[in-house]
Amino acid sequence: MSSNVQFLIDNWVLVAAAVVSGTLLLRQSLAGATGQGISPDEAVRLMNREKAAVVDVCEPEEFAAGHVIGSRSIPLATLGSAQNLPANKEQPLIVVCASGMRATRAAAQLRKQGYAQAQVLRGGMKAWREAGLPVETGAKGKA
């Protein structure tokens, strides 16, 4: 037997761990590429055609540094008791954070609260800026 084959046989546990690890990483990368949520272009379409509300779940400092124009600032920690969510639970909601991670949790929480059309902006504000879409700064959010 060649030395490579003998190495694989002698270290089968390490080889199996490497294969499993690689598979999980590849799966995660592919899931991120197709991703959960909507693109910035899809978000703009929803905002224009279906009057979707934008909920930004960033912390106040992050929100003040830059947010989608007209978005509502509702930090993730206060989402359960937020008073400034749309009254119409059928209205589409676009949930935004810096990168999309907090928004994913927030959208799940909003769906449990009855907002069936809560969707995440895939890539968050980072993707929004990269798409060249307008950003508003300051702490003033839509009430």
Active-site residue list = 97
Which of 58, 65, 76 shows the shortest CA–CA distance to 124? 58
Tell me which amino acid residue 137 is.
T
Instruction: Please spell the DSSP secondary structure of 52-82, one letter per residue.
Output: -EEEE-S-HHHHHH-EETT-EE--GGGGGG-
Instruction: Please spell the DSSP secondary structure of 14-34, one letter per residue.
Output: HHHHHHHHHHHHHHHHHHHHH
Element (H, E) at 120: strand 118-120
Residue 76, token pair as written in the block: 């993730």
For residue 74, the tally of other CB atoms under 10 A from its CB is 23
